[in-house]
Structure 1
């Protein structure tokens, strides 16, 4: 879940209020704005207004309309008329409203294109107020697309601008968005609470009740991630009551999923499933695709915890269905085929006309010239036919070359996102069966103080540093026959024992962990140019997982299960430069490595668990 913004403007005296909350516009604001939009629409189409007010009316219609298609329609008209009158201010407004409309339609690519066009003009004209809001919107889009690095960079661009402009609510919005990103995407609730504290103080100072309600909810979510369920439930309940009073039901769906988490932690499964189902029903009632997806994901997690793998997979597939935007490639192919058929028909018609003309000519001239004309026609026909055949041969040859190159490129891309065996199964059968593996080793890494230190880095150095580390980690995975699953911000996740199912996958994973630590130490020692040195924590666990591919056009290979959650807990309970392993992994590697028993430590949702530090490999005797 990431955040977004909405705006309220009065027709004559405009006041811009933005609040980044949950990637949807609050229903209470929608209702108020739509009433204004309906009234303005009647006036606009009646023509009862002065021509000098046309651009103002189009700007307000594009902003207030809750229907994305109408919003885009008025935004396009505003842009066209603003360009005609060379009104820079209105052009920027048009790009903002078009971006908002595309975002509501779920078309994030066009939304980003429109917002960036606005940034280019606002930056050139030094329009700081609109520039800050545009950066805020772009950050929200990147957060929604899972690009956390670009989201943070755009939020950081917006902060000094909005603060300098004394735009208190927009400034609080950026802080709330950053807190939400650290809270739910980077899973760093302590950092998130610092942002929420500052934004909450601003909302309360302004007595902005909607902002206060959202802030309470976000604080509750942070406490839920910290395992402090009483504080989480208290804040979420307060937020829910305020939102119901304000008539804003949209974020309640999100909070219900976290109430489900709280009751699942207590072991109250009927209540946990009840809150998750209520969240799904509310999201469906209001047509909130993102919240529908989140509710499906929560139900999948609950079923997985209860050991119902088939139901967990079914709900997870529904989650992916609502998460991904699927391009309708079949329609494109149909259009291409129709065009090809049309061109062939045209060629055939031309040939038929030539033949008909030749027949008419031969009938008119039955005397001496008939042989000459027939010969000429035959030569022309043969020439045209040979030319056509040559062109067709060249076209087929070129097309086959392109197809072969694209096939090889597709195979390479597929192997970059799926394991070899999974990619082969997908190509042969068109789908991949979900599988359960009884013994898999999972490793998580995380850089200490990544967020704090990254805030002082240039974007180029940040990207170069992260790419350097993860590329080296990938080489280690390939060397030891392990499988990289994904990266999440500064976290790196990999497995052993899924496809190269050898019994020594735990041992190979620990060797890989030592090499990862060595890589980070080398950066500090060698002081490599432009690479940021980081301290790293590593956690490892071994156990059963479920693995599968979901989606039809955009494939996503992932693993889930309690083993993955415990591995993540091993990492968060580790120390920098250390490799923290669970008891399951210890039993598999204890004969090959010297380990230090840490004792039993409390783990969220698991109680007390034994943990060990891996010190060094044991010396092998002949």
Structure 2
């Protein structure tokens, strides 16, 4: 059993640097977090908010963060057709999609961005987007198209005399040459970009340059030089918290040691690469790291381990869209259309011949040719119709699958939904430490008896929809609603030590929302709310076989309900267990021991504010 090595992931560094270098933030997570905090808490004018969104996008290192704020910038800029901000939003959205391995969607977004730079006459943007398109082609293995767009992008950037952007474009073009095994051309590009980065004193650019030069040396058999350059690159990138290229370079270090027959060290670097890739959700590099481990265990004749990693490689490899197959389909359609034009030309020529040919035999030959051409045309047309039908059917099936998955995730936690899909059932699980919250509207029964049902349901839905958004913000799990009661839990599936404090913060947001709603004249009915929280062990699982529901059970849940019923309007009442976990973060007021139904008296606390 021999696995063929796919080197594509080694070249996925292409393009990562280019959009990293567009600002001085160099994907610093702390900078991005600080900018996001300013954006969320500061009242800014429209263009100030847009400029801040651009800064966040240029500093962000997480693909989900990039996609979130790119959509916000696009939505804002679309209100007044601001080409600069719209182009930037689509550009960074493309970057985020590429980081996730969604090359097909990324390419569509890049071409939208390119169109906006041309409409807005943003020349520097044209250079940036052209190079990003080249990066995407190179990452998907289409080196021919990559070289075309690199040449266009570099030409524009040379005219602008922008050293930083030019250096990054040269570096990425060098990676494309490396992919084609044109190592001397690659080193030439790396040499020019390295000089520019050094003049600019740009650390992240120099780090990418060193790593890529190291990969060239490794391919040329100069392992010691390769090792020195790659280790220097990794050291710099670790300081900058830029983990994607580190994952790629670690895989390459594994290759170097494998060629030296140092199996244990090669395995160590591959496992480090896989660990980083999984931690930051890098699908393409997860695939490559698994493939590297499969090859390593195969070399050791550990075929069971090798096969395990190879299966993981296939799963992640197939999840990445292959642009090459899309282009082949486009080429086939182009060839088909050209062939149809040729058939039309042939028919015209044959008709012209018929008018001048006198002999019956020659006429029969011409008619036969025409009939044969028509049959070919009809066959080709039928094949095209069938292709379009299959394509449309597959799109409908995929759309329904996504819709089904989305509905399932609205009902169940993601982990539980996956278990249900795979096994057809869900095993009950015990969680040793969770935090459960209950809310209740004061006087709800009175409103329910005196209001039209439609108005009552509409009002409750208004409140609970906002509660759902707060749950999503803090990554908490909504369990269910019963009448006017809302129940949620933290610490289920997403294991974390701060689930109690996260739940209390969410509770404060719920109270703030309810209070602010009283000042909103558009809402005819306003409620007062009580909240109760308790922490402890629970059992969670799915009940029912048709209209199934996810629920939790245990004494922890019962006590949380009692905390709510013994709370007061506008206040958060917590148990001793919850107090023990949050007392260093929140100011709490001890209420004493309070008797509750069917139990001995329990210590209760009102949470006042955050320390």
TM-score, L = length of structure 2: 0.47
